[in-house]
Chains A and B, each alone.
Chain A
Amino acid sequence: MSTGAQLIMLWENIAMSVRSIAANKGRAVLTALGVMIGVGSVIALTALGTGAAVSVEARLGNLGANLMIVYSGQPRGTALVRTRTTNIAPALTIDDLAFIDSLPPDLVVMTSPESSINGQLKFENRNTAATVIGTDTDYPEIRNFRPVFGDFFTPADLEGRRNVVAIGVQVYRDLFPDGRDPLGTTIRMNGLPFTVVGIMEEKGNPGQDASVLIPLTTFRRSLSGSDRYAIINIQAASPDVMYQLQEIIETQLLAFRRLPSMELADFYIANQMDLIGTVRGVADTFTLLLGGIAAISLLVGGIGIMNIMLVSVTERTREIGVRMALGAKGRHVMTQFLTEAVILSAGGGLIGVGLGYAGAWGAWRFGGLAAVVSPESVLIAFGFALVTGLFFGGYPAYRASRLDPIEALRYE
């Protein structure tokens, strides 16, 4: 058959299918319902899974881009940012930091060491407790924690070991409940006078909001005396190099300490990718599970299509006989019924895509859930619906195509 004739046949099949579906609208809708629900739920549920992962990743990114932290002590849990590090002996040396700083820029962008103690802060007659962090001027960039009012301390402050402090927003609220401009004001920290140079942005976690930041040089001279760091913050060049970088640092720091393995180490490295990996893993499992449930409902939808197509073939046995008597070949009959099954499943699939988007929107609008509809899920779900139609329409269509014309004509 020529391509022209094939196109005509295809068009004819579509027209016949649409007419046959239109003749049984209610039944068609019920048949396609399974596919609609299947496709809709695949899209909406995976949107919720993806949305959850995206929102957690956004929160992690909020900690600082490509952040990697070397901690003193032994690992506890998986939290990237430990809220209390003040009670652990600082174990990281100047050599450790120098080594990390010596790594090429395609691995390490910048570093910032920090140490901290618990401090008691006082202004006029008000007292508050805060974590006092001594660090350097790269800290705001690495930790994505910046002043909103005034400034962070400067390299000159660091150089001159000045008594200047950038205070967390909670500390500001506790010490200056009247909301006054605190810049230039002197507060007392463990008895020592410090001049306020800035207020840090609100992060929503007490570890940061109830902290104050002072130059590391000042911290060492006045508050701790130790020349070790509790933490080294590292901004890696990209997420891809993080594991490689972690391995390089672990190997060298173990070598400095003459230790055989991380089990005995007095430091550990938390890597943003670990957390993102964990979150993605959970989200992927979730998505897979939801996808599986949705796929089962698609399967059920497919069986519904098969059932109705078998009924349709039986009902139209005489019609098949007439068509065959007038020259329809097996494959004509086959494609006619396949077209019908695919139109049913594609129609159901299209409505399902709409339902999926609506469901995701509803979850966001009324449930406050993060939902991100991924184009892949739409394509996969719709493609799956089409394949379902082809697969489950295949058997009834095959049965129809194998009918004997004279018996089909006699069928009552």
Chain B
Amino acid sequence: MIHLTDVHKHYQMGPTVVRALDGVSMSVDAGEFVAIVGPSGSGKSTMMNIIGCLDSPDAGSYLLAGEEAAERSADELAEIRNRNIGFVFQSFNLLPRASAVENVELPLIYRGISGRVRRRMAEAMLERVGLADRSRHLPAELSGGQRQRVAIARALVGNPSVLLADEPTGALDTHTGEEIMTLFEQLNAEGVTVVLVTHDPHLARRAARAITLLDGRVTTATALEVRP
């Protein structure tokens, strides 16, 4: 399903080169539940952006469903992001002027789903993350954890086949975090491929498999776990 081979992503910062990804190879099969762990700055978000078709590698290959992402057009990538991938951003990325439910509706707009149907789907998803009573609130009127749950609802509303979650429980208390994890596990059981970035070793252990990044590389210990 997801297949990275020797992926590099470098940033030129003045005289120095930041090697955010320095030859990452890994794969995730359809239906897997994989955790990505590693210290801050190790390249987890950078890798997630590439997997999510938001960013492209400087070198190396990224095959998604057997096709090279770099060879697809911008419109095709937009279509994939819209229909196949649910992305929970580390920084939420909610539209500040849109209410919770309007934020959740966003991916559905670009599928051409009518307003009434959209609203119903978005409300249902907000209810699933426990925010039914906050649907009219603006992001600024929500707590950090509530915003995170709006971001999760938005990632899930379009029934993606791949869920990419970058620290989705970082701002949540253990209890709510557990609930979200349970939700992810349910989705995974329904066949959704889940890739989850987390700092929490407890949560990482609930994944079938963990990939550890360090300085833009997959560390050997976990690399062994990656199937060829």
Contacts and interface: CB of A to CB of B under 8 A. Distances in A.
Nearest to B93: A322
Given A19-B97, A406-B54, A406-B55, A325 B87 contact: yes
Contacts of B112: 1-2, 4-6, 8-9
A327 B54 contact: no
B107 interface: yes
Contacts of B49: 406
A327 B81 contact: yes
Contact of B82 (A20, A326, A406): A326
A409 B151 CA distance: 15
Contacts of A4: 112, 114
B115 interface: yes
A406 B107 CA distance: 17
B106 interface: yes
B180 to A, nearest CB: 20
Contacts of A406: 49, 54-55
A176 to B, nearest CB: 83
Interface in B86-114: 87, 89, 93-95, 97, 106-107, 109-114
Contacts, number: 72
Interface string A56-75: 00000000000000000000
B74 A330 contact: yes
A44 to B, nearest CB: 38
A240 interface: no
Interface in B49-99: 49, 52, 54-55, 74-75, 78-79, 81-83, 87, 89, 93-95, 97
Interface string A323-344: 1111111101000000000000
- The binding surface of chain A is classed by DSSP as helix
A326 B106 contact: yes
A374 B112 CA distance: 42
Interface residues of B, number: 27
Nearest to B84: A327
Nearest to A319: B95
Interface residues of A, number: 28
Interface string B151-171: 000100000000000000000
B54 A329 contact: no
Contacts of B89: 325, 409
A168 interface: no
Contacts of B54: 325, 405-406, 409
A12 interface: yes
Given A2-B112, A8-B112, A9-B112, A327 B95 contact: no
B154 A326 contact: yes
A326 B97 CA distance: 17
Contacts of B114: 4, 8
A4 B113 CA distance: 9
A23 interface: yes
Contact of A325 (B93, B97, B109, B115): B93
A23 B97 contact: yes
Contacts of B107: 326-327
Interface string A363-385: 00000000000000000000000
B158 to A, nearest CB: 8
Nearest to A318: B93
Nearest to A321: B93
Contacts of A327: 78-79, 81-83, 107, 110-111
Given A9-B112, A323-B106, A409-B89, 6 more contacts: A8-B113, A322-B93, A326-B110, A327-B111, A329-B79, A409-B93
14 contacts: A5-B112, A6-B112, A8-B113, A322-B94, A322-B106, A324-B81, A325-B87, A326-B107, A326-B110, A327-B82, A327-B107, A327-B110, A329-B75, A409-B93
Which 9 pairs of residues, A with B, have the shortest CB-CB distance?
A327-B82, A5-B112, A327-B110, A406-B55, A329-B78, A326-B107, A406-B54, A322-B93, A329-B75
